Amino acid sequence: MLLEVTGLKKYYPLTQGFLYSRKIGEVKAVDDISFNIREGETLGLVGESGCGKSTLGRTVMRLEELTSGKIMFDGIDISSLNNKNRNWLRKEMQMIFQDPHSSLDPRMTVGDSIGEALVIHGIEGKNRVSELLEKVGLPSDFAFRYPHELSGGQKQRIGIARALAVRPRLIIADEPVSALDISVQAQILNLLMDLQKEYGLTYLFIAHNLSVVQHIADRVAVMYLGKIVEQGNSEEIFSNPLHPYTRALLSAVPGLKAKRLKLSGEVPSPINPPNGCRFHTRCPKKMKVCEETEPGITDEEHAVACHLFTNGACGSELK
Ligand code: SF4
């Protein structure tokens, strides 16, 4: 495994009073999450906005301190790295952001932006900028352009070139196509897949759009209110979704033949998540036990956290 995450928690304290010194609660953005990614594969992480998936990505990248849990990267525990070792990690792991515009400095040319990453990491970069531009499908004279002269798709290609500059092994792509026009989304996804093949890259691909994830992911993890509620290989998840939340998400995707499952209510606050199954306030299949006992995730290749599939039940109520 290239990445192994075990029992990861990321809580933010809620404070009040003079200098915000009194803790009055916490936001459980990521709450006891475990998953792994094999070298060269893509794990798609999906869920509605606010479910904690971006926080999870930033915590794995070590841009955020974790509250507890363990993150292993290629057999090395990176849960408590100091600043010096985080520099090493930046060469191994890079991030592609949702908004390509805000991730580029408007005062820097494209060449300087890409070159900056090379300088920070002490990488010889004589012809590297033009090489990277070519790899992301842009002519080398783009090195002299400024971000305001580029389209959204071109900016995201620059974001990808910057991420590739240090030759990382793992890329965390946080909604990398959601700010782009539909016609450009497919081009960027195909570019990411081509680069993966060429460089043997591993992706944690975060998205709220399931059709995008279906296009690129080998395996999928579905997140709801800080928890993974279902994970498995992509084909299984899309052809045989088990968790009512996954089914509801899939049934909302045009073109996918999933039985309609309508959600009611709003996503509860992560400050005070519901007892028992966190999804019970919106679940059309809710049972008495769901309000009292939190379902654990099953220990299968296609894993699900739902009482319909634990304790010997088989989910027949869902069919
Ligand atoms: Fe619905 Fe209960 Fe399953 Fe939660 S545990 S998803 S409330 S059936």
DSSP string, 141-195: GGGG--GGGS-HHHHHHHHHHHHHTT--SEEEEESTTTTS-HHHHHHHHHHHHHH
* Residues 10, 13, 18: CA angle, nearest 5 degrees: 160
For atom 7 of ligand 1, the residue with the nearest CA is 280
**Confidence at 87, pLDDT banded by 50, 70, 90:** confident
Atom of ligand 1 nearest to the CA of 278: 4
DSSP, collapsed to helix, strand or coil, labels residue 258 as coil
Q: Is the pLDDT of residue 317 over 60?
A: no
Neighbours of 157 (CB within 10 A): 25
CATH number of 3-318: 3.40.50.300
Q: Which residues line ligand 1 (CB under 6 A)?
A: 243-244, 277, 279-280, 283, 285-287, 290, 295, 306-308
Dump pLDDT digits (tens) for 253-264.
Answer: 877 666 667 787
**Confidence category of residue 176, pLDDT binned at 50, 70, 90:** very high
Residue 266 pLDDT class (50, 70, 90 cuts): confident
* Integer angstrom CA distances of residue 297 from 4, 185, 229, 277, 280: 17, 33, 7, 11, 15
Tell if the pTM clears 0.85, that is, is over it.
yes
Rounded to 5°, the CA angle 77-37-132 comes to 95
Query: How far is the C-alpha of 82 from the C-alpha of 87, rounded, in Å?
Result: 9
For residues 110-136, give the mean pLDDT. Answer: 87
Quick one: pLDDT at residue 46? 96
| Per-residue pLDDT at 77 | 95
Bridge-partner residues for 228, per DSSP?
Answer: 223
Residue 287's H or E segment, with its range, is none
For residues 280 and 291, the answer to whether their CB atoms sit within 8 Å is: yes
Centre of ligand 1 from the C-alpha of residue 307, in Å: 6
For residue 290, the ligand 1 atom closest to its alpha carbon is: 2
Note whether 206 and 175 are within 8 A (CB).
Answer: yes
Q: Please give the mean pLDDT across all residues of the chain.
A: 90
- Confidence band (pLDDT; 50, 70, 90) for 318? low
Beta-carbon contacts of residue 140 (< 8 Å; ≥ 6 apart): 129, 130, 133, 134
